[in-house]
Amino acid sequence: MSPNTFAATLASAAGLTLLALPSHADDAGTQVSALQDGRLGEQVDQLCINAKGFNFRDMTDRTVIIETAGEDFLVETVKKCGNLSTARNLYVHSEQRNSRCIKASNLLVAEGPFTYSTFIPSESRSSHCRIGSIYEWNEDALEASEASS
């Protein structure tokens, strides 16, 4: 598991799933086209979160890796998502109340870092992005292919 993985808390109310995470942004220099990556697995209809919540890491402007119950998934947005690469918090709006599952077409809300104006914290910026697809993600596949080369 990457050191960039953070513990998150899952709270579900009125169709809103909150993931509260500490500050982190993925290194822009490590961005790889996820859809051409050897770690990309089968496309899935949804990913369901267990009671312990989930972690997120390796954000780009269109993708984020979500880990729950020891499984990783790549979530891709329909188009570029402004604050996803620097997200501190992620929210998922679901049409189903109290759902523990994330599906394509749900709305992903990425909260960017807090900004400071005259040394007074202001509200964070948020981007609202439609989830386009969800894939299984195998972090070990890349290590296995590098070891065999």
Under 8 Å between Cβ of 82 and 111: no
Question: Across the chain, what does the average pLDDT equal?
Answer: 73
Q: Angle 63-65-71 (CA atoms, 0-180°, nearest 5)?
A: 145
- pLDDT, mean of residues 133-146: 82
Q: What was the pLDDT predicted at 63? A: 94
Under 8 Å between Cβ of 66 and 87: no
- pLDDT, mean of residues 34-45: 86
In the chain, the percentage of residues whose pLDDT exceeds 90 is 33
Q: Angle 57-60-63 (CA atoms, 0-180°, nearest 5)?
A: 75
Q: Kindly state the DSSP code that residue 124 receives in the 8-state scheme.
A: P
CA–CA gap between residue 53 and residue 89 (Å, rounded): 13
